[in-house]
Amino acid sequence: MNKMSIRERISTTMRGYGIIRRYCPGLVQSKTCYEFINALQPFLSVWFSARIIDELSARRSLKTVTAYVAGILLIQFLCSVLKSTANRVYTEKQSQMWSGFGKIFSDKQMSMNFADLENAQIQHQRQQIEESLYQFGNGLARLVWDIPDLVLAGVNIVSSLVMTWSLFTSRSGNAALNHSAWILIVLLCIALGGLSNSKATVKKNNAFMRWSKDTTWFNRTFQFFGRELYVNTEKAKDVRIYEQNIIASKVLDKLLQHDRENQSDIFKMSVYPAIAYVTIGLANAVCYLYVVAKSFFGAFGVGSIVQYVTVLSRLGEGLQALMYLLSDNKVYCLHLQNLFDYLDRPNPMYQGSLTVEKRDDNEYDVEFKDVSFRYPNTDAYALRHVNLKFKIGEKLAVVGMNGSGKTTFIKLMCRLYDPTEGEILLNGVNIQKYDYDEYMSLFSVVFQDFRLFALSLGQNVAASAAYDTDKAQRCLKKAGFGKRLSAMPNHLDTCLYKDFDTDGVEISGGEAQKIVLARALYKDAPFIILDEPTAALDPVSEYEVFSKFNEIAGDKTAIYISHRLASCRFCDKIAVFHGGAVIQIGTHEELLAAANGKYHELWNAQAQYYRTQNT
């Protein structure tokens, strides 16, 4: 990590607070308000207490003492009310803090070029930043947690200087104690305590950074075993059958070995703060002796002793907090800069500006013209010279062996990637010229690795908090989920899974696939793309989807990706991919008639498998 100037650190810190205010509104303000009152309250109490003690040790005016007591009680009451209100707001905001931080990453992921989402180096960068934030609390979390020290430093230093000025201006019977040099001596002692604490913090942080430098592997492994392996119910069967505990114990042994090899850094993390505490104690002793000596020679009364001793201690705490903040800020600003480097990563994909024509007749025409594509940081082409055109309302099946380019073809059409060579046209216009979001709205896609959420069934179908009840029901029934829907305890309001609702319903893989199909229908886009839509369905449900496919697709242009060739017979046209190229196009009958073709080879291979299974 490169060192940062003071100006860069200030700019970085202010940007960090700006992000927190955006994603966690009210968090910084409520915390600052609470800490300001909390830091100021002792000074008010000390001032009133000193006046009461002075009054009791001198004139003993009941009226004056009563006024001071009433004043301190009133101030304590007001401070308690304000602190309680601010703390209640802060507690609520803090409970939402980690969710807010998570949204920072999700927003960035949504705005990034899809190629970057599949870039291992970039995702490794994100993972490191998240580990730093969530596991060590560096960066944004540290900004929040440092608010108490920031407010304490400001209030203590300003209030202490105001309340100790009379210590140096009051005259005592000993001329030596009235010398102005004592101002410098006292302040130097207090500064020495703060400086020693700062140096100790820096050395302790450096030792910690050296100790933790090689523990990234442990944090990731601990997160995997602690959360994924043992908490995630999907992995529970494998954990119990294959005794994964032995791996976890090896990880713990490695961590203990790491600590044994780094005893020097662990020792330094303890000894430097101890030395600082001794130095601070000696510096405070000098200040306290000066206050007592000046009072002994008649400069002020007993109450003022209480005030000056307490306030000088507070001044020392303020300077220590300031020094700590400066050294701590140097560390977490580097973490913040890593976060900003990630957040500032540009999206190189051209977003386009043309408006996609809204057509009631769904007459959209897509054409691949000599399209070739190579994934980033690779030399091999995933697609080569693909030429393909879809007719309006056509049902196209895309088949081929694993790695033949089927999924890449869909990614390009949905503009998750742009072609390396050639172009893709929508109604004769290069799709890169269209507004990106408008173009994406044309497609409903059921990906093979789809995801459902721990929300209500209706919200999962609509992919939205609000939804059309009748429309959601129609789509679920059309997708073959009607019978299961009627058995749901709360119908569309039934929560899926038990993450947030103990009454949530666990669903099978086949049921989940039907819900996702209903989601694609609910969007009602002109193009519907189904990537292995029946992979998790039983034969009866699969046949139900096939037989109703024309009804499901309606007048939409449908693209159906599958490795089960028998499921493609209902499509108007079949495109056979092999080695990143389209090597055959035709109907099922035409392709099957080509005895030397790839489709004929794949068909007979699958048919032979089923014949073997049935004998």
pLDDT digits (tens, 9 = 90+) for 367-423: 899 999 998 888 889 999 999 887 777 888 888 888 888 888 988 988 888 999 999
SS3 content of the chain, % helix, strand, coil (to 5): 65, 10, 25
Q: Which of 191-205, 239-253, 415-429 has the lowest mean pLDDT?
A: 239-253
On the question of pLDDT at 257 being above 60, the answer is yes
Q: Rounded CA gap, 110 and 119, in Å?
A: 15
**Quick one: average pLDDT of 211-219?**
59
Per-residue confidence (pLDDT) for residue 615, from 0 to 100: 44
Q: Rounded CA gap, 505 and 487, in Å?
A: 11
Per-residue confidence (pLDDT) for residue 236, from 0 to 100: 63
More confident residue, 533 or 52: 52
Q: What is the homologous superfamily of the domain 452-523 according to CATH?
A: P-loop containing nucleotide triphosphate hydrolases (3.40.50.300)
Sign of CA dihedral 178, 182, 187, 189: negative
**Quick one: average pLDDT of 212-236?**
60
- pLDDT confidence bin for 135, thresholds 50/70/90: low
CB burial of residue 503 (10 Å; 0-12, 13-18, 19+): exposed
Tokens 């050294």 sit on residue? 327
Average pLDDT, the chain: 81
Q: Rounded CA gap, 243 and 229, in Å?
A: 11
Per-residue confidence (pLDDT) for residue 296, from 0 to 100: 75
Residue 396, phi then psi, degrees to nearest 5: -110, 130
What is the CATH topology of the domain spanning 365-442+525-584?
Answer: Rossmann fold (3.40.50)
On the question of pLDDT at 211 being above 90, the answer is no
HEC-encoded secondary structure of 59-123: CCCHHHHHHHHHHHHHHHHHHHHHHHHHHHHHHHHHHCHHHHHHHHHHHHHHHCCHHHHCCHHHH
Cβ within 8 Å of residue 141, ≥6 positions away: 97, 101, 133
Q: Strand, helix or coil at 126?
A: helix
**Quick one: average pLDDT of 172-188?**
72
On the question of pLDDT at 150 being above 60, the answer is yes
Q: Give pTM, 2 decimals.
A: 0.69
Q: Rounded CA gap, 449 and 537, in Å?
A: 14
Q: What does DSSP assign to residue 166?
A: H
Q: Rounded CA gap, 6 and 329, in Å?
A: 10
Per-residue confidence (pLDDT) for residue 453, from 0 to 100: 87
* Residue spans per domain, the chain: 14-170+333-343, 365-442+525-584, 452-523
